[in-house]
Amino acid sequence: MVILFDQFNLPDNVFKIIFATEQQILVGRLLFSYIKKNDGEITKTGMGVFAMRLHEEGIVVKEKEKGPLAKEIKITYNKRQFYDRILTPMRGMGLIEYDLYRKVYRLSDKFNRLMIKVGLMWLRELDKN
């Protein structure tokens, strides 16, 4: 996956850099929140339940406005597109990792380590003659 961003107009959250559309940003944030609420990891079955719930029922979320008049939004997302456009890129970038032995998805800091590695590769390229 290619991440393009402008250093002078860097968004305030990482999901806006990683995903292309507003709906993908919302679904990515929902997945992150769902995993975080479950102590940072969910089973393969739990991921399937999350994807099916998004596909069939949708998930209702309140906007960030405070107070009882906050608007509710129902988010639905195709199951196949969820795996192709949300979960697979997040796994590929190291935001989420899958433990084959325990069959669980967990949040990971590999993305941070990879970005540091890319930065170091750039510094080495600058130092070359």
Give tens-digit pLDDT for 110-120. 999 999 999 99
Q: Quick check: is 123 in a domain?
A: yes
The DSSP secondary structure of 59-88, one letter per residue, reads EEEE-S--STTPPEEEE---HHHIIIIIIH
Q: Quick check: is 1 in a domain?
A: no
65 lies in which domain range? 14-127
Q: Quick check: is 80 in a domain?
A: yes
Q: Quick check: is 64 in a domain?
A: yes
pLDDT at 46 over 90: yes
CA-based end-to-end distance of the chain: 30
Q: Quick check: is 117 in a domain?
A: yes
Domain count, the chain: 1
Q: Quick check: is 78 in a domain?
A: yes
pLDDT tens digits, one per residue of 56-111 = 988 888 776 666 667 788 889 999 999 999 999 999 999 999 999 999 999 999 99
3 state DSSP class of 102: coil
